Structure 1
Amino acid sequence: MYRHSLRRRVAIAFAMCVAVLSVVWGFAFFAAIRLSEDRVLAQQLQSAAENYPSLTSNLRGYEEVDSLPVSLRQWAQTNPSEGLYEFEAEELHVAVVPGSNGQRRAFVVFDVSDIEAASSEDWWLLLVITGVVGALGALGFGLGVLVMRRAVAPVAQLAKVVADIDPEQLSAEDHKRIEPNRFGDDEVGVLARTIEKTLERISAFVERERYFTGSASHELRTPITVIMGALELLEESDLSVTDRRVVDRVKRATFEMKATVEMFLCLARETDGGQYNEQFLVMPLVSQAIDQQRHLLSGKCVDVEINLNDVEIADLSKPIACGHSQAFSIAVNNLVRNAFEHTLDGQGPVTIHIKERVLFVTNQVSTETNERHTPTETSSQGYGLGLGIVQRLCERNGWSFSLYADEARVAASLSW
C-alpha cells in the first residue's frame, strides 16, 4: 500500500537522489581540500627538515628591484600594479604591495619549488581524482536506478500481471488476477481497477457470445431443418409444374438461409473446438458449391469449366487444405455464387482453376474478351457482402484471399 501518488513518489525519489549525491560530493570536495592542505604543510615541513639546522623560509620580502631574484628584475622594472602574480616557469608567486611612508612598492616573493609535487605525482593524483569521480558517478547512477525502480515498482508489477494474461485464451477468472487493492489509491491503482473492469466486461462478453452461438446454433437450425423436411415431403407428392417451381424456389431460399446462418455463426464463434486444424479435401466442397449455386445459371448460356493442374478431375484425393472445412465451404460457395450472379447470358465460361494450394474462380463481365486488359487488384467491397465475409473467414483460418478485376473479367483467388 502506498500513501503517496506515483507523481509524488517519483518527485521524492528524484529529490532524495539529488540530496544524497550533493552530500556525497560535498564530503568529497571537503576531503580533497583538507588533503591538499595537509599535503602542502607536509611538503613545507619536509623541505625545512632537509635544510636543518639552517632553516630557510620560502617567503621573503624585497624593497629594492635589484635585490629581487634575477628572473624577476626585468619584470619589476616595468612598475607592475598592486596585486598577485604567478610565474610558472620559475615556480614563484609574487605579491606587489604599496611601500610604507610613501616609498615605492615592495615585493613579497613565495618560492613554491620545494612544495609543489613533481609531474609524476601530479599524474598519479589526477588518476586518483578521476577514479574517485568515476566511482561517485557510478554510485550516483546505481542509486538513481535503485530509487527510481522502487518508485515505479507498482507500474512494473501491474505490467507483469497484465502480460501474463493471454488475450487469445481469455477466461472468466482472468480479471481477478490483477488484484487492484494491492496497488493503493494512486494512479496505478486507478489504472489497475480500470483494467480489471475492462477484462471483466470482456470476459462477460465472451461468455455471452459462447452462450449465444450455442443457443442460436440450435434455435436457428431447427426451423430450417423443419422447412427442409416439409419441402422433401412436398417433392414426393403429386405437384403441378407451377407448384414444383415454387417448391424449388423455396428450397433454394432455404438452402441460402441455411448457408447464411452457418456463415454468421462461424464468424461469431471465438473458438471452435480445434476444428481450425482439420484437413479436408477441396474438390468435393467445390463440386458441392457448384451444384448448390447452379440454379443461378438457369436461363443463361454459360458453361462452367473446372481445371486441375497435374490431377485428373476424377481424382478426389487431392488437393488437401487445412483449416475449418465449413468455413472453406462457405467461402467457396460465396465465390461461386458471386461469379454465377455477375455472369450474363453468353459471357461464359466461368472457370474454376484448382492448384495444389490455390483456387481461382474467374468469370467474364464483358463480351469484349479479345481485347487485352491488365488486371488490377481491387477491394472486395462492391462485389457483394459475401466477399467481405470470405475475407474474414480467410483471416480467421490463416488463408489468403485476393480479388483481381479489369474491364473484361473478375478473378478471385483463395490460397491456403
Structure 2
Amino acid sequence: MYRRSLRKRVAIAFAICIATLSVVWGLAFFAAIRLSEDRVLVNQLQRAAESYPSLTTNLRGYDEARSLPEPLREWGQTNPDEGLYEFAAEELHVAVVPVDNEQRNAFVVFDVAGIEAASSEDWWWLLLITGVVGALGVIGFGLGIVVMRRAVAPVWQLAKMVENIDLENLSAGDHKRIEASRFGDDEVGMLAETIEKTVERISAFVARERYFTSSASHELRTPITVITGALELLEQSELSTTDVEVVARIRRATLEMRTTIEMFLCLARETDDGLYEEQFLVMPLVRQAIDQQRYLLNDKSVDVEIDLIDIEIGDLSKPMARGHAQAFSIAVNNLVRNAFEHTLDGQGPITIHVDERELFITNQVRSDSDERHMSIEAASPNGYGLGLGIVQRLCERNGWLFSLRADEVSVAARLSW
C-alpha cells in the first residue's frame, strides 16, 4: 500500500509543504513589488496629466546649494556628504552628487508630492498586506496538517486497530484485527507485525491459563478431597493418642495444602466471572482464620484479643468489604498464621482490630538482639509463610491496601478495603 518508508514519507511531506509555502510567498512578494512599481508610475503619469499642456518634471538638478528650493537651502549650505536624503515633511528626495573632481556638490531633487500615498492610504495597504499574510499563514498551516496527516495515516490506522482490542478479554482471534499485511514493508508494517505476533502470543497464553486453571482446579482439589474423606474415616475408628495427634497433623497439613492451592489458583486466574465485585461479611472470615490457625498457639502462652471498634459484639452484619471473598480469606489466613507462628511463648497478646474499613493485626516480639534480628527478618515480604508478597498481589487485584510495619517491639499488618 505504501511504497516508501515512514521516515521518507515524513521528509517528503515536509519538503512539499515548505516548497509550496516558498513558492506562494515568492509570488506574493513579487506581486507586491510589481504593484508598487505600477502604483508609482501611475501616480506620476496622473500628476503630469493634470498639468497638461504645461508639463512639469518631478526631477530637477541644482549646481549650487543657494539655488535649491527654499526648504533645502540651509541644509545644502552645510556641505552634506554624497548620498541619498529624504525630507518627509517637504515630500522631497535629494541625491548629493560630487562634481568638478569632487571639489563641490550638485543636487538632484525629486519632488514626490502627489506620487507617494497618503498616510491613511498606507494604513489601508498595511491592513491589506497583513490580511494576505495571515491568509497565507492559515493556508500553510492547513496544508501542513493535511500533508502530515496523509504521511502518518498508517500510524493512526494502526493505533485505532490496537485501540479496538479489548485487553481485559483477549480472544484467540484478536490478533487478526491488526492485519499487518495492510501496512507494507515499512516501519509501520514491522511494528504492526510485531504487535500482531505479540497479541497472538498473549491470546494463546490466556487460553492456556484458562485451560490450566479450569483443569488444575479439579485435578488438584480431587486428591485433597480424597485425603479429607480418608481422615474422616480414620477419626471414626478407635485410635491411640499418638495416632490421633498424627491424624490431626495430617488434617492441618491438608488444610494448608487446600489453602495454598486456592491461593495460587486465585492468583493465576486472569478473570473470575465478576467475583471481584461481590460484597461479603468480614467477621466470619476473620473468625474462621483464627480458628484454623489456633493450633499454632497450642504450645504457647499467648492470648488473642479481638477488638471490634464501633461494632457491637455479635453483630455479624458489618463490616462488609467488596472484592473476591476467597482472596480476602486467603489474605487474612496468611496474616493470622504469620502472627501466630512468629509470636514467641509469653510474648502476647496478639491483637486483632476490626472496624468498618480495615483489619489491623499486631503481635509482640522480644527486644534482645538475637530475637530482634529474627522478628525483623520474619517481617520481610519473603519471611512469612508463603510470603507477604502474595498478600500484596491479592490486595492489588481487589483494590485493597496492605501495609506492614516491623520494629524490635512489634509487627503490625494493616489491610484496608
> Does TM, scored on the shorter chain, surpass 0.5?
yes
The letter for the 1-side match of 2:405 is: Y
Instruction: Tell me the distance in 2 between the aligned counterparts of 1:192 and 1:134.
Output: 41
Paired residue for 1:44? 44
Matches within 5 A, 1:113-128: 113-128=113-128
The letter for the 2-side match of 1:207 is: A
The letter for the 2-side match of 1:193 is: E
Deviation, 1:76, is 3.4
Could you list the per-position Cα deviations for residues 158-211 of structure 1 after superposition, in whole angstroms to 9, with x for gaps in the alignment? Answer: 112222223222222221111111122111111111111111111111111111
Paired residue for 2:183? 183
Instruction: For residue 387 of structure 2, give the secondary structure of its aligned residue in structure 1.
Output: helix
Instruction: Tell me the distance in 2 between the aligned counterparts of 1:333 and 1:51.
Output: 113
- TM-score (normalizing by structure 2): 0.91
Paired residue for 1:279? 279
Instruction: Tell me the distance in 2 between the aligned counterparts of 1:198 and 1:118.
Output: 72
Deviation, 1:100, is 7.7
Task: Figure out how many residues of one structure are paired with residues of the other and give that number.
Answer: 408
The letter for the 1-side match of 2:332 is: V
Instruction: Tell me the distance in 1 between the aligned counterparts of 2:311 and 2:30.
Output: 92
The letter for the 2-side match of 1:177 is: R
Deviation, 1:288, is 1.6
Bigger Cα displacement from structure 2, 12-21 vs 157-166: 157-166
The letter for the 1-side match of 2:208 is: R
1:35 matched to 2:24? The reply is no
Bigger Cα displacement from structure 2, 82-91 vs 349-358: 82-91
Instruction: Tell me the distance in 2 between the aligned counterparts of 1:343 and 1:326.
Output: 26
Instruction: Tell me the distance in 1 between the aligned counterparts of 2:356 and 2:81.
Output: 102
Paired residue for 2:149? 149
Instruction: Tell me the distance in 2 between the aligned counterparts of 1:28 and 1:353.
Output: 81
Paired residue for 1:108? 108
Paired residue for 1:388? 389
Q: How has the CA–CA distance of structure 1 residues 326 and 108 changed in structure 2, closer, same or farther, with 3 Å as cutoff?
A: same
Q: Work out whether residues 367 and 408 of structure 2, in 8 Å CA contact, stay in contact via their aligned partners in 1.
A: no
Bigger Cα displacement from structure 2, 106-115 vs 128-137: 106-115
Paired residue for 1:415? 416
Instruction: For residue 61 of structure 1, give the secondary structure of its aligned residue in structure 2.
Output: strand
Instruction: Tell me the distance in 2 between the aligned counterparts of 1:362 and 1:255.
Output: 24
Deviation, 1:99, is 4.6
Deviation, 1:122, is 1.1
Q: Work out whether residues 404 and 411 of structure 1, in 8 Å CA contact, stay in contact via their aligned partners in 2.
A: yes
Of all paired residues, the percent bearing the same amino acid is: 78
Paired residue for 1:211? 211
Q: How has the CA–CA distance of structure 1 residues 84 and 278 changed in structure 2, closer, same or farther, with 3 Å as cutoff?
A: closer
Matches within 5 A, 1:90-105: 90-97=90-97, 99=99, 105=105
Q: How has the CA–CA distance of structure 1 residues 43 and 280 changed in structure 2, closer, same or farther, with 3 Å as cutoff?
A: same
Matches within 5 A, 1:8-407: 8-97=8-97, 99=99, 105-366=105-366, 380-407=381-408
Instruction: For residue 301 of structure 2, give the secondary structure of its aligned residue in structure 1.
Output: coil
Deviation, 1:367, is 7.6
Instruction: Tell me the distance in 2 between the aligned counterparts of 1:282 and 1:64.
Output: 113
Q: How has the CA–CA distance of structure 1 residues 122 and 210 changed in structure 2, closer, same or farther, with 3 Å as cutoff?
A: same
Instruction: Tell me the distance in 1 between the aligned counterparts of 2:7 and 2:310.
Output: 69
Paired residue for 2:373? none
Q: Work out whether residues 286 and 332 of structure 1, in 8 Å CA contact, stay in contact via their aligned partners in 2.
A: yes
Give 5+ residue unaligned stretches, structure 2: 369-375
Paired residue for 2:372? none
The letter for the 2-side match of 1:280 is: F
Instruction: For residue 408 of structure 2, give the secondary structure of its aligned residue in structure 1.
Output: coil
- TM-score (normalizing by structure 1): 0.92
Paired residue for 1:372? none
Instruction: Tell me the distance in 2 between the aligned counterparts of 1:366 and 1:101.
Output: 114
Q: Work out whether residues 281 and 317 of structure 1, in 8 Å CA contact, stay in contact via their aligned partners in 2.
A: yes
Q: How has the CA–CA distance of structure 1 residues 147 and 291 changed in structure 2, closer, same or farther, with 3 Å as cutoff?
A: same
Bigger Cα displacement from structure 2, 301-310 vs 83-92: 83-92
Q: Work out whether residues 59 and 110 of structure 1, in 8 Å CA contact, stay in contact via their aligned partners in 2.
A: yes
Instruction: Tell me the distance in 2 between the aligned counterparts of 1:151 and 1:329.
Output: 55
Instruction: Tell me the distance in 2 between the aligned counterparts of 1:142 and 1:351.
Output: 70
The letter for the 1-side match of 2:95 is: A
Deviation, 1:218, is 1.1
Q: How has the CA–CA distance of structure 1 residues 390 and 105 changed in structure 2, closer, same or farther, with 3 Å as cutoff?
A: closer
Q: Work out whether residues 307 and 313 of structure 1, in 8 Å CA contact, stay in contact via their aligned partners in 2.
A: no
Deviation, 1:78, is 4.2
Q: How has the CA–CA distance of structure 1 residues 78 and 365 changed in structure 2, closer, same or farther, with 3 Å as cutoff?
A: same
Give 5+ residue unaligned stretches, structure 1: 369-375
Bigger Cα displacement from structure 2, 136-145 vs 81-90: 81-90
The letter for the 2-side match of 1:182 is: R
Deviation, 1:384, is 4.2
Bigger Cα displacement from structure 2, 157-166 vs 257-266: 157-166
Q: Root-mean-square deviation (CA), in Å?
A: 2.2
Q: Work out whether residues 347 and 367 of structure 1, in 8 Å CA contact, stay in contact via their aligned partners in 2.
A: no
Q: Work out whether residues 293 and 336 of structure 2, in 8 Å CA contact, stay in contact via their aligned partners in 1.
A: yes
